[in-house]
Chains A and B, each alone.
Chain A
Amino acid sequence: MDNKTQPPAFPSVDMATFLASSAHDMKNSISLLIRGLDGILGSVDAKTFAAYDDLAQMTYEAKRVNGNLIQLLTLYKIGQDIYPFDPQPVALGDFVELIAAHSAELLKSQGVALEHASEPDLYWDFDEDLVAGIIGNAFNNAIHYTRDRVRLSAACVDGSLELRIEDNGTGYPQHMLEECAGGMRGVDFAAGSTGLGLYFSAVVARMHRQRERCGEIRLENGGALGGGCFILRLP
């Protein structure tokens, strides 16, 4: 190529900021989309409206995309040291109740029943929005692997708060158990799994520190319902 005709170089852009601002913009559009879909779903009769199931599936997908974008933006802010991390004492009874109320509809639309339990009078310091994000993500995983039941529970175990999301499916596949145990292996576009959810959960868990201890996530099989268990432990 003739050097003289080479176009001038583009000014260099900070790719991370570029991605973040785009994600922000996409999130705003998706929010409008979800609001519209929810409006339609609320105004029609599930039994008589033929496309109800399709519409519900579309809403579910839109919410999943929205959740992913929020996680991306949050990770960006955490990386830039500008995320307003705000650990506050939370009453676990209320917290579990609210998340259950918030997610029950979504889970029901996927044919999954949700049960929940919390040790009475349990209070713990954590960032409520971040931990709610982790649990939402774990629900999304559980939907894929469960048969028809998911259970959310909170308890104090060995001086840590333990939040468990358990299901009655066949359990998490081996590669996911390994991925979680061995740290994050990165993006696998071919498999359709970006690892974003688990990475987000691991980062957020680690932000919760108490002296030398920090939070962690674990995947196991078995548990109360005999299927997969996602475990979040916070010091």
Chain B
Amino acid sequence: MSFQPADNTPEADFSTRSFLIVDDFQGMRTILRDILRNCGANAKNIATAGNGSEAVAQLAATPFDVVLCDFNLGKGKNGQQVLEEAKVRQLVGPACAWIMVTAEKTSDAVSGAAEYQPDAYLLKPITEAMLRQRLARIWTKKEAFADIDRAVRQGDVAAAVARCDERLRIDKANAAELLRTKCDLLLSSGDLARAKQTFESILAQRDVPWAKVGLARIHMQNGDYAAARAMLEETLAVNAAYLEAHDLMAKTLQAMGDLEAASAAIERAVRISPNSVARQKNLGEVAMRLGKSDAAERAFRRSVTLGEHSILKTADAYLGLAKACAANDRPDEALRVLDQVDKTFDDESVRTHSLAVEGMVHQQTGNAIKAKEIADRLTQKTAAAGQVDAALALDTARLLFATGARDAAVELLQSEVRNAPENAALLGEVKDIFSAAAMADEGAALVEASRKAAMEQMNRGVLLAREGRHDEAIVAMRAAREAMPRNVRVLFNLTHVIIGKLQQAGGADPRLVEEARGSLAAAHALSPGEVRHATLKAALDAVVGAR
């Protein structure tokens, strides 16, 4: 074994880069500015911000190469919320290095969502050596990922994966990150087989927590919930505070229908990272379904409070809070929350949803006339809007039942089942609504009938295509799409039969190609990361290219 003095880190070039320092203490901003200048940064390329809103304004006005952001920024947005807003509004791209400065190692600052993670966390006190080394490491990594990011931006996942493989052959320093990115790409494009193979080859060498969670994700997508759960339990036994594993565990348990256990899993994640807007909202939703309206109210309230300065705040948390308040016999407060939601979110579908909840509150307080009036308005609105999201449809159905519009409620629920006949969680909730309307048995039969009819209609076109009757197949799938506009499988199958027609015709009718692409994109938007998206996209590209 040969020993040699540790290599010096390659000199990082600070002189050409622009920096933004975000800290609420003037003294700290001065210290960080001095450190940057000592590292070689040009004084006129260093900007500072004293709070979150100021930082967002600066980021919106000028692009920065490096952001040094304290997590704790006093009143208003915290550092994580600044980062989230910058990412969501695309004020920073993949080339920007974001360093989050924290006083101690704690999971409070960590949200758990990979897309909103900084490039590094640095513990105070920050020293010149620390910053130099960390930025050198980040810049080397960014360089290694430049080609991959470009391919991703162009939507060419296959090329991005190929760049990862090329890079993996020469770049030992970034090997783990490259492998992880490659797996994420394969997963998001739906290539589960290759993702699985990659995870397994990593785990054959070493126990790596993220690879285990990745495998669990694949088990889950394949519907093998028991295997996913076992894999996650194994990971959490070694790494009890692994947020991603807790979050996936909650999803797995929800899919298994074990809401009690799912709620416990979310609560564990919340103990580790109490500041996530989305996680508190999820906790509230599960608690509500379990009938624990007190716990639900607490969680929703927390989500609303945490979201005050966050771009990730959701109308669902407000609507959930209103429902929980109503369930806890405080209808006045429920109405106040709904008033707040209309003011906070400038969005027609949110207003419609808020109206549905308001109707339920009036019904509960005995104001049947107002409830009925709202139910009628909702029916008109939904008819005009064509398609609405599932949560709104379910709440509308609840109100329709409560105001005596039984047939309309049943029809709406049947349409929801047709749109997602394979979504076990949704079918469970629909059955709950039927039970609440004293239609448990009838409802279960209706759900089953709709599910079966949808499955048949989903596959009719594929069967016709198999017999070579491509034109009829397309007509059948178009009708299916008309009837079930948010059914992912229908959208995929429509793409599939169009590809069949294109292959048979040996030419690429641009209108058909466009229809296939549109259908594929709609499916991807509804349910990203499906296996069939990748295979159909490749098939479509091939038939267009082979023209």
Contact = CB atoms under 8 A, between A and B. Distances in A.
Contacts of A96: 6
B453 interface: no
The number of chain A residues touching the other chain, given as a range, is 35 or more
B238 A209 contact: yes
A93 B9 CA distance: 8
B421 to A, nearest CB: 40
A211 B173 CA distance: 24
A105 B206 CA distance: 37
A94 B9 contact: yes
Interface string A52-88: 0000000000000000001001100100011111011
The listed residue with most A CB atoms (<10 A of its CB), out of B7, B110, B172, is B7
Give the secondary structure class of B's interface.
loop
Interface string A32-55: 001100100000000000000000
B9 A97 contact: yes
Nearest to A35: B125
Nearest to A95: B6
A95 to B, nearest CB: 9
Interface stretch (A7-15, A117-125, A173-181): A117-125
Interface stretch (B126-134, B213-221, B329-337): B126-134
A116 to B, nearest CB: 6
Contacts of A35: 125
B176 interface: yes
Interface stretch (B99-107, B187-195, B377-385): B99-107
A129 interface: yes
A27 interface: yes
Nearest to A66: B125
B43 interface: no
B6 A81 contact: no
A98 B131 CA distance: 10
B116 to A, nearest CB: 15
Contacts of A121: 172
Contact of A153 (B3, B8, B125): B3
A119 B272 contact: no
Contacts of A155: 1, 3
Contacts of B133: 94, 97-98
Contacts of A211: 207
A26 interface: no
A102 B176 contact: no
Contacts of A77: 106
Interface in B175-220: 175-176, 206-209
A29 interface: no
A61 to B, nearest CB: 17
A73 B104 contact: yes
Nearest to A209: B238
Interface string A136-159: 000000000000000001010000
B137 interface: yes
A120 B4 contact: yes
A209 B4 CA distance: 28
Contacts of A184: none
A117 B6 contact: yes
A84 B8 contact: no
Interface string B262-278: 00000000011000000
B239 interface: yes
Given A96-B6, A116-B6, A117-B3, A82 B107 contact: yes
Contacts of B240: 81, 85
A132 B310 CA distance: 34
B452 interface: no
A25 B2 CA distance: 47
B101 to A, nearest CB: 13
B129 A101 contact: yes
Given A35-B125, A101-B127, A102-B130, 16 more contacts: A70-B104, A81-B241, A82-B241, A84-B107, A84-B241, A85-B239, A85-B240, A85-B241, A93-B7, A97-B8, A116-B6, A123-B172, A129-B105, A153-B3, A209-B207, A211-B207
Interface of A: 27-28, 31, 34-35, 38, 70, 73-74, 77, 81-85, 87-89, 91-94, 96-98, 100-102, 116-121, 123, 125, 129, 153, 155, 209-211
30 contacts: A28-B103, A31-B125, A38-B125, A73-B104, A81-B241, A81-B272, A82-B241, A83-B241, A84-B105, A84-B106, A84-B107, A84-B241, A85-B239, A89-B176, A93-B6, A96-B6, A97-B6, A97-B8, A97-B9, A98-B133, A101-B127, A102-B130, A116-B5, A116-B6, A117-B3, A119-B1, A119-B2, A120-B4, A121-B172, A209-B238
Interface of B: 1-9, 103-107, 110, 123-125, 127, 129-130, 133, 137, 172-173, 175-176, 206-209, 238-243, 271-272
